[in-house]
Amino acid sequence: MTNESSAAQIVILNGAPRSGKSSIAKAIQEQFEGPWMNLGVDAYNGMTPDRYLPGIGLRPGGERPDLEEVVPFFYAALYESIAIHAGLGLNVVADLGHHDAYSQPLGILADCARRLEGLPVLFVGVRCPIDVIMKRREVVVPGRETLYARANDAETIPQAVARWQEEVHIPGIYDLELDTSVLTPTECAEAIRHQLDTGIPDPSAFERIAEAR
């Protein structure tokens, strides 16, 4: 692995499903200079065997303890790949939904942060009010017709959606936070570009998370 001065940039977008992470990642790829490789949840789950899905997209609530033993290894492999890409000079944007609400705490985020030690990582919290997320879940996305829980007569907001909203931003340590209900993907990308140009805070969010016990 190369040192920080010669490594490329890494942007980790963390938020609930339908909060707008994928759109921001696409805007970064389209607008930023140089190659920006998207190593997010969709890309990783695309190469995950069906029987292990939703893989790293396993939602909060401890509903699939049978999958939990492999999820930390999936995350570890993904983050090691991110480190290799950046070390070779390839910028990386990864849209993910980190949480620790499994049947028992797994400490995945801290482990992932330690795997990027010495590399320039901007950790971005992508926030969106739950009412806006619910409206977005009603929009049919080709190939994802059954992926997102929707409201029904029994519950205005599905428990799975509420759990994502509660758990994904714990511990809430970020270098930058964006609200996609008021910012477009392009505006979010510009805010990220500005933060990268200004400099990642010292210590960075990932450094603080990695040091936490």
The model's pLDDT over 156-167, given as tens digits with 9 standing for 90+, comes to 899 999 999 999
The residues pairing with 177 across neighbouring beta strands, listed in sequence order, are 125
**CA nearest neighbour of 91 among 147, 178, 182, 12:** 12
Structural domains of the chain, with CATH: 10-211 (3.40.50.300)
- Tell me what the mean pLDDT of segment 151-175 comes to: 86
CA angle 181, 178, 107 (to 5 degrees): 120
Give pLDDT, residue 164. Answer: 97
Mean predicted confidence (pLDDT) in 151-160: 69
Distance CA 197, CA 128 (A): 25
What was the pLDDT predicted at 138? 79
Instruction: Compute the distance between CA of residue 74 and CA of residue 125 in angstroms, rounded to an integer.
Output: 22
pLDDT in tens, 23-81: 999 999 999 999 999 999 999 999 999 999 999 999 999 999 999 999 999 999 999 99
Instruction: Give the integer Cα–Cα distance in Å for 146 and 137.
Output: 10
Q: What is the pTM (predicted TM-score) of this model? A: 0.90
**Percentage of residues in the chain having pLDDT higher than 70:** 89
Q: Exposed, middle or buried: residue 131 (CB in 10 Å: 0-12, 13-18, 19+)? A: exposed
List all residues 6 or more positions away from 159 whose beta carbon is below 8 Å from its beta carbon: 61
